[in-house]
Structure 1
Amino acid sequence: MENQKPNTNLGDLMRESMDKVREMVDTNTIVGTPITTPDGVTLIPISKVSFGFGSGGGDYGKVDAKSFGGGGGAGVKIDPVAFLVVKDGITRVLPVAVPASTTLDRVIEMVPDLMEKVEKYLDKKDETSEA
């Protein structure tokens, strides 16, 4: 463990705790590093990150640095949600999470399929009008 001077006030304690949380939670945690398979398919993992943070403390007497008492805690939860699957220029969403529980979640999950159906319909309509 690093040899650091102890925190002397609540602000320092909170800043240090939040810096550690930032180290754990970054954009690479949410949108993972793309993985390319030998057959040319690219998989991009997508995760949901939840975190909580709490801190507290007090200065007692302000006589010396040892008069500060405090503590803090943080928790991080990472849930895999889906993979973006890119093959031959077509991107699909492959969900890996629990099925949607709210109406809005269900609608969001339906958007890629709906877009694909609309695209096929428009392509078919163009072919019919050209003939």
Structure 2
Amino acid sequence: MSEHPINGLMQTAMQSIKDMVDVNTIVGEPVESKDGTVIIPISKVSFGFGAGGSDFGQKNVGNSDANFGGGSGGGASIEPVAFMVVGQEQIKLMPIEKNTSPVEDIIDSVPTLLDKVIKAIKKKKDKPEKTEVKAADSAEEVETV
């Protein structure tokens, strides 16, 4: 039995989509800046396709495809969503979205706040505290550790 013409339409559509969408479409080529920082674009890829066909009546003996009609189509959308910045001993994801929610802003700021709190605690531990003790006639400083 010969292959149905719709198979050819489907294979062509799938091969075209496969050629368009690969990992380099989603995670783009890295770009290196003068200071050694590497910037990697990240995109969201959406695609869809459709194919269909119909046989009309009986097939002619000489030409098996004479009574077939069909077509296929597809579309793709590539939307940049973020940049990954690698350099200066850190990795940072910088989203492009303009409309972020307050909850996302808070979640994004938590690592920075934790670093500041930890640094403040370390500074306080490293620095000796000074307290004043008042006697009846004079004040003197006493160092406590």
Residue of 8, 13, 20 corresponding to 1:17: 13
TM score, norm. by length of structure 1:
0.74
TM score, norm. by length of structure 2:
0.68
CA pair 98-58 structure 1, distance change in 2 beyond 3 A:
farther
Name stretches of at least 5 consecutive residues in structure 2 with no aligned partner.
Answer: 128-145
- Whether 1:59 aligns to 2:67 is no
SS of the counterpart of 1:114? helix
In the TM superposition, what whole-angstrom CA distance separates every residue of 1:45-78 from its partner, at most 9, and x where no partner exists? 0111111111111233343123321101110011
Q: Contact (CA 8 Å) 1:80, 1:97: kept in 2 or not?
A: no
Distance 1:16 1:117 in 2: 53
1:41 counterpart residue number = 37
1:94 counterpart residue number = 94
CA RMSD in angstroms, aligned pairs only:
2.6
Once the two structures are overlaid, the 10-residue window that deviates more, 67-76 or 52-61, is: 52-61
> As a proportion of its length, which structure holds more helix?
1
1:74 counterpart residue number = 74
Larger radius of gyration: 2
Q: Contact (CA 8 Å) 1:50, 1:77: kept in 2 or not?
A: yes
How far is the alpha carbon of 1:86 from its aligned partner? 1.3
Q: Contact (CA 8 Å) 1:43, 1:83: kept in 2 or not?
A: yes
1:84 counterpart residue number = 84
Query: Aligned AA for 1:99?
Result: N
- Whether 1:114 aligns to 2:92 is no
How far is the alpha carbon of 1:118 from its aligned partner? 2.9
Distance 1:115 1:85 in 2: 16
Query: Aligned AA for 1:14?
Result: M
Count how many residue pairs are aligned between Structure 1 and Structure 2.
121
> As a proportion of its length, which structure holds more strand?
2
